[in-house]
Each structure stands twice: as C-alpha cells, then as structure tokens.
Amino acid sequence: MSTVAVKKILSAESMRNLGAIGEIDSENLLYLESLARRVSEDEALLKLFVDLYQCIYKGGEVSLPEEIEAMKNDSYGFYALLALAGLPEAEKHFNKFGIPEDIRRGAYVDTGIWIKHFYVNTGRRGISPRILGWELGLFKGNLYRIGRLQFGIKPFYHQARALRNIKNRKVQAFASPGMKFNGEGLCDGVDGHFDGAGAWESEYIVSGNSVTGNPVSSDGFAARQKLTLNLSEWEEVLAPGDPVIDVHIPEGGPMTLEACADAMDRALKFFPEYFPDKPFKAFACESWIFDPHFALILKPESNIVKFQKEYYLFPIECSGEDTAWRIFGENGLVNGLANAPRNSSMQKACAEFMERGGFFRSGGGFYLLEEMPYGRAVYRS
C-alpha cells in the first residue's frame, strides 16, 4: 500500500469510521486518533507503519517485538492502529465470499473488545502483538466468529487419534507414540515440571487386525496400562492431519451451554455453504480452558466445566501461560501469587490450587460430527 493510501487510513475521519465499525469506546478512540496523527506526520514512523502493514497484510507471517523502539510506551497503540488499518482488507475478503453481515461484525468488533480488555488489565492503551496476530486470523478469513465462538478449518495437528466402535458407536482416544507423560497421565515437562522416575512414554502399534496403545480417557488423562482393540470392530475416525473445524473461545460474553450449542450448530451449516471445497471430520480445540484440573477445583455448574464435558479431552504439550493471564489478568502475577487478585470464585479456586503446588497447562479436545447436536455430554455418559 502506498504512503498516500496509508495516510488516508490514518486520517481523523477514517479513524472515526473504523473506530465505529470496531466499536471502540470514545476514550480509546481519542487516543488512537491522536496517535494516528502523530504517525502520519512523522516521516520515519509513517515508513515503519507502511512497511509493517505490507508485511502483515500483503506478505507472510511476521514476528513482532513486544515494544517498538521508535514508539516506546505507544507500541501497543501502534499495534492497535495496524489492526484498525486491516478492517478494509477484511472487508475485501468477506465481499469475495459473500460472508453474512453478522459474521463480519464478529471480526470487526473483536478489535474493540481486546483494546478494552488490554486497558482494563494493564492500564495501557492498545493491544499486544500477540492479540494483533489473533486479529489477523479474523481479517484474513482463517477464523470466523459465529455467535459465541470462533471457527476455522485446518488440519488436526495434535498427537492424538480416535477410534469408534462400529456397533455401539463408542469412541476411544489414544495418545500418539513417543509422547512423554507424568504419573498423572498429562504431558511431562510442561513449564519445567518433570516427574522424574514417574514419567513414561506412550506407544501406538498397529499389528495385523489390531491396535495396541495407551488410551486417553474422555476427561483428558492418558493411561500407562495399554489397551488393545480389534480393528474388525473399531474404525479410526480422527488422526493427525485430518481436516477439522478449529474452535477458539474469544473474549466477550458468558460461555453458556446454550450459546456454545448455537455457535456449533451454526458453524456446522456455515462452512459447507460458504466453503464447500473444504470438508472436515470434527471440531477440535486447544485452550487453557481444557486443563483437566478445572473439573477438580471448580463447581460442576461452572461454564468451563460444562464446556469441558462436551468434548473428548486429550493431553497436549502446552504451557499454562495463557491460563495465568486469562484468570488473573495481564499483570496479575507480576507481584507474586500472594498478591494476585482474588475477586472472583474462579480466581480464588485457582490461587488456592497453585498454593497447594498445582500448576496449570492447556489441553486439547475434539468433538466428532456424529455426536451433534451439541449439549448432551455424550463422551461422559
């Protein structure tokens, strides 16, 4: 994009229009208008903006630093401007595929949601480079917000697989070979936590008409004792590399069973209608919400526990970093666990779990299409 075109995007009128589309609150919008004027009037900053815009929206992946040297404390505001500047690019994509207005809006307002979230949690205006990367997925059509959830089709990249009994339709998951687990049945070594002598490695062997491996329970724990299934009675229904609808849980609004059921049902209709050339086998999700410990420390009626029970969970090698900032805020643990906020029942329960020596991790989950409609907790029955 030319410098002239970028300056037009950064104009006061354009910022107000983009701010309205993104539903950015008045205080943050005033800040961004002022910052846009500063960038537009500074030759070096304008060149930096143009270069990053080209890399982000016209090139491939780009690694963004937490702080831009030339911007200092306004780095996060700079990233928010880059996000707003991408709204016209998103519009082009949506027009090309005829995406409905309500789903377009889900992408547009996500920027405003995160700008507000970032200010509440850090006291700083803008968004982090991590969130900018997330917004790009929405703007480029890799993700679509449909109701309460976000969805995108991609290969199932996790080290888990599922088999279904041909007669009774029961599902059994297995860990892929070579995974290292702790005595609890979760991935060993996450965030530097090793089990030592209690650690073990998974196997998955197909031999003749049978398969033998380490099974994974529907609540997300791998078992050390192996299980053998007869392949004349069981068929593989999900394996690494299979196309799935990748599920993400965005910020904003309660995650009720009804809202999630509505989103899943709509997604199941949306992708075949607008992307008929992209088949899929299941819904799959990687999230901090799928840490199986939540079912042990939160009340059964909590939305997180209800969401977990809908999916067949499986362990993944993924840090608990997301859990910390999602529960306690961006800077919630900066001054140590003893000073972490405990304003909600969830914050209290999680802090107490950590004080007992527990630590969090992300987890994975899948939901096969045969189990629709969503909302019956079929994997736990």
Q: Dump pLDDT digits (tens) for 310-369.
A: 999 999 998 888 888 889 887 778 888 999 899 999 999 999 999 999 999 999 999 999
Residues near 216 by beta carbon (within 8 Å), at least 6 away in sequence = 160, 173, 174, 175, 185, 222, 223, 313, 314, 315
Query: What length is written for the chain?
Result: 381
Closest listed residue to residue 282, CA positions, set 270, 268, 272: 268
Q: In this predicted model, which residue has the larger pLDDT, 244 or 254?
A: 244
Q: Where are the domains of the chain?
A: 3-140, 143-320+359-381
pLDDT in tens, 110-123: 999 999 989 988 89
Q: Is the pLDDT of residue 91 over 90?
A: yes
pLDDT cut 90: percent of the chain above it: 81
**Beta-carbon count within 10 A of 22 CB:** 25
Q: 125 by DSSP, 3-state: which? A: coil
* pLDDT on residue 330: 73
CA 340 to chain centre: 24
* Confidence bin at 60 (pLDDT 50/70/90): low
Lowest-confidence region among 127-136, 183-192, 194-203, 365-374: 127-136
> Do 19 and 85 form a contact (C-beta atoms < 8 A)?
no
Q: How far apart are CA 188 and CA 186, in angstroms?
A: 6
> Do 184 and 221 form a contact (C-beta atoms < 8 A)?
yes
Q: What's the whole-model pTM score? A: 0.91
* pLDDT on residue 218: 98
* pLDDT on residue 319: 86
**Beta-carbon count within 10 A of 303 CB:** 16
Q: Report the C-alpha dihedral over residues 238, 216, 377, 305, rounded to 10 degrees.
A: -120
**Burial bucket for residue 63 (CB in 10 Å: 0-12, 13-18, 19+):** exposed
* pLDDT on residue 66: 87
* pLDDT on residue 125: 95
Token pair, residue 380, equals 């736990």
pLDDT cut 70: percent of the chain above it: 99
Q: How far apart are CA 379 and CA 381, in angstroms?
A: 6
* pLDDT on residue 168: 97
What is the arithmetic mean of pLDDT over 251-258?
A: 88
* pLDDT on residue 324: 85
Q: How far apart are CA 124 and CA 335, in angstroms?
A: 18
Q: How far apart are CA 49 and CA 315, in angstroms?
A: 40
Q: What are the helix and strand counts (H, E) for the chain?
A: 13, 15
* pLDDT on residue 331: 75
Q: Is the pLDDT of residue 1 over 80?
A: no
Strand 282-287, strand 243-248: pairing: parallel
Q: What is the mean pLDDT of the chain?
A: 94
- Per the DSSP assignment, residues forming a β-bridge with 173 are 162, 216
